[in-house]
Structure 1
Amino acid sequence: MLEGTTIVAVKRDGTCAIAGDGQVTMGEKVVMKRGAVKVRRIYNGRVIVGFAGSVADAFTLSERFEAKLEQYGGNLPRAAVELAQDWHGERAGRQLEAMLIAADAQDLLVLSGSGEVIDPDDGVVAIGSGGSYAYAAAKALVENTALPARDIAQKAILIASSICVFTNDHITVEEISAEKPQEVRSLPCPT
């Protein structure tokens, strides 16, 4: 299921930040882990992904996407479209119960385990059980503050964690910049 996590991405001023909470929930009643990392770098650190959904399906989706990135020289939109075409051509197998946000220095996309690719209109997107809360918070912060992408993403997860029982405040943020596409900044955010 897509319940059990929240991932948000914010693109602003040449930087994209993806933040995710750390909660792993078994069923609807038990928190199994507080500090899982659901945001990570792939393709030699040049692409950031954040995933929500079934853990096994999310890893499968991430691995298939990374293979497409390798195949197409790191071209994020092309890799995403080719992965989606595999799904629609039934070459990739069953639908996966997972979603993935992927970003590089230029592009921000959402990929689903059923073959959809979404390019958000305004540089803000969120997935997972607390995604609607994080999305609303991030949109409000983008429209009403001058905060950088990293701070907006972190604050959006914190707001979601105060509302959604499947989201916690153990936050991991990765960001990528057009100026420094391989700069690693992934320390857990203080709460």
Structure 2
Amino acid sequence: DGQATLGNTVMKGNVRKVRRLYHDRVIAGFAGGTADAFTLFELFERKLELHQGHLVKAAVELAKDWRTDRMLRKLEALLAVADENASLIITGNGDVVQPENDLIAIGSGGPYAQAAARALLENTELGARDIVEKSLGIAGDICIYTNQFHTIEELASKA
């Protein structure tokens, strides 16, 4: 979604929380503090360059730095990153998680979107984009910190 809140007030409704990195081969999104997330995007992009686009290695290296660096530890955001091989969530606790089915969702509406996506994935023949659109719509209908402004990025299929 594109909602930025300060406490219980909507500050902006069209924030672009998803971007393409490393020659458009990686998609990264964030939840949490915007300034913190942009700092993490920059650091993650450097890790991707250093490791020639190897997503998992870059994610693990960022998580290690984020966990051990005194200044980085104060950053309050989550990153969701994906390439054609993996989808990961990176946290400031040093976690790099690849959820089942590579189905990732973060932020206030994340659990609603993930539950909806899982139900649609397991019970319909919908394609990935349709599942994402419907799941984000459901999350926006339920969660007061999630809106209906969606930025959807797609990676080329391996097939």
Shift of 1:23: 1.1
What do the CA deviations read for 1:26-51 (whole angstroms, capped 9, x no partner)?
Answer: 211x2121111111101121100111
- Could you say which structure has the greater relative contact order, defined with CA pairs below 8 angstroms and 6 or more residues apart? 1
Alignment partner of 1:158 is 2:146: no
Which residue of 1 is the match for residue 115 of structure 2? 136
CA distance in 1, matches of 2:51, 2:74: 23
Give the aligned length.
159
Decide whether the 8 Å contact of 1:95 with 1:114 is kept in 2: no
Quick check: which one's helix share is greater? Answer: 2
Shift of 1:88: 4.0
The TM-score with structure 2 as length reference comes to: 0.93
Q: Which runs of 5+ in 2 are unaligned?
A: none
Name the aligned partner's letter for residue 63 of structure 1: E
Q: Which runs of 5+ in 1 are unaligned?
A: 1-20, 181-191
After superposition, the CA RMSD in angstroms is: 1.6
Which residue of 2 is the match for residue 44 of structure 1? 23
Percent of pairs identical after alignment?
Answer: 54
The TM-score with structure 1 as length reference comes to: 0.78
Which residue of 2 is the match for residue 26 of structure 1? 6
Which residue of 1 is the match for residue 83 of structure 2? 104
Q: 3-state SS of the aligned residue for 2:105?
A: strand
Quick check: which one's strand share is greater? Answer: 1
Deviates more, 1:87-96 or 1:121-130: 87-96
Equivalence map 1:28-107=2 (5 Å): 28=8, 30-90=9-69, 93-107=72-86
Shift of 1:127: 0.7
